[in-house]
Amino acid sequence: MILLKTKEEIELIRDAALLVGKTLAEVGRHIRPGVTTAYLDQIGEQFIRDNGGIPMCKGFEGFPSALCISVNDVVVHGIPGDLFIKEGDNVSVDIVIKLNGYVGDSAYTFAVGEVSPEMQRLMKVTREALYIGLDLCRPGNRVGDIGHAVQMHCEKNGYNVVRELCGHGVGFDMHESPNVPNYGVKGTGPLLKEGMVIAVEPMVCMGSKNVKFSKEDGWTCRTRDGKPAAHFEHTVAITANGPDILSSFDFIENK
């Protein structure tokens, strides 16, 4: 069932989503060659707790960490550990926070120093696909309209979207109905209504769309061909006035 949110509830979800944006920025300030992903996780978890939030990924179905940190060919769900960040890496950080009982979700792919022009382009196109999808988050559109637009933008730029994972409803919990795939057919899927809150999150591969999940940890999702991937995500409310993006990259980009 798709749970609709009141205006007051949307404001509370915004508070949680903005704390996600601030945490992404705080983690981003510490991303540099020589630090480990476990160190970044510790920075993020401390910041979340200092601000009264609960990191929702920690303990979710056994996930061990506060943040998902996915480097290079890891698409999503990377578990922070003793991996050292190095110049030229791309580091995707995905954070879900509960604050005052409401949940926000956002992700950002950071470039470490100088990344290749190919990687810069992948990040740019993935980010564009996110905002193209967000712009369709209006009453009367359907979930398939979002997926279709995201998929078309990525494919026309020579990239592929992951099929195994998708966006989702969010706000009362970290994963609610509906699923919001990054591919689809226009005019299909659940109808978007005022009061819905969803996470739109293109996961885009430079090479093939095929991914594999780690047999060791059950989480880490890598591209099968070893080529890099990028991931950007916002929490958005569907309102009578159109999309209201509740999370923000401003804390990262206007530092």
* Residue 31 near Mg ion by CB under 5 A: no
What is the C-alpha separation between 162 and 94, in angstroms, rounded? 16
Binders in 201-220 for Mg ion, by CB under 5 A:
201
What is the C-alpha separation between 87 and 149, in angstroms, rounded? 33
- Helices then strands, each counted (H, E), the chain: 5, 15
Q: Which is nearer to Mg ion, 45 or 105 (CB)?
A: 105
CB of 76 to Mg ion, least distance (A): 9
Alpha helices in the chain (DSSP H): 7-30, 37-50, 117-135, 143-156, 250-253
In one-letter notation, the amino acid at residue 111 is A
Q: Which is nearer to Mg ion, 43 or 198 (CB)?
A: 198
Q: Which is nearer to Mg ion, 28 or 202 (CB)?
A: 202
Q: Which stretch binds Mg ion (CB under 5 A): 124-132, 134-142, 181-189, 199-207?
A: 199-207
Q: Give CA separation, 53 vs 12, 66, 101, 103, 119, in Å.
A: 12, 11, 9, 9, 33
Q: Which stretch binds Mg ion (CB under 5 A): 76-84, 125-133, 138-146, 193-201?
A: 193-201
In one-letter notation, the amino acid at residue 237 is A
* Residue 176 near Mg ion by CB under 5 A: no
Size of residue set near Mg ion by CB under 5 A:
3
Q: Which is nearer to Mg ion, 199 or 238 (CB)?
A: 199
Q: Which stretch binds Mg ion (CB under 5 A): 111-119, 129-137, 191-199, 246-254?
A: 191-199
CB of 44 to Mg ion, least distance (A): 16
Q: Which residue is nearest to Mg ion (CB)?
A: 199
CB of 82 to Mg ion, least distance (A): 26
Q: Which is nearer to Mg ion, 18 or 115 (CB)?
A: 18
Strand pairing report for 90-99 and 102-111: antiparallel
Angle formed by the axes of helices 143-156 and 117-135, to 10°?
160
Q: Which is nearer to Mg ion, 145 or 201 (CB)?
A: 201
What is the C-alpha separation between 8 and 42, in angstroms, rounded? 32
What is the C-alpha separation between 233 and 212, in angstroms, rounded? 21
* Phi, psi angles (nearest 5°) of residue 190: -60, 145
Contacts of 61 (CB under 8 A, 6+ apart): none
* Residue 199 near Mg ion by CB under 5 A: yes
Binders in 93-122 for Mg ion, by CB under 5 A:
105
Footprint of Mg ion (CB under 5 A): 105, 199, 201
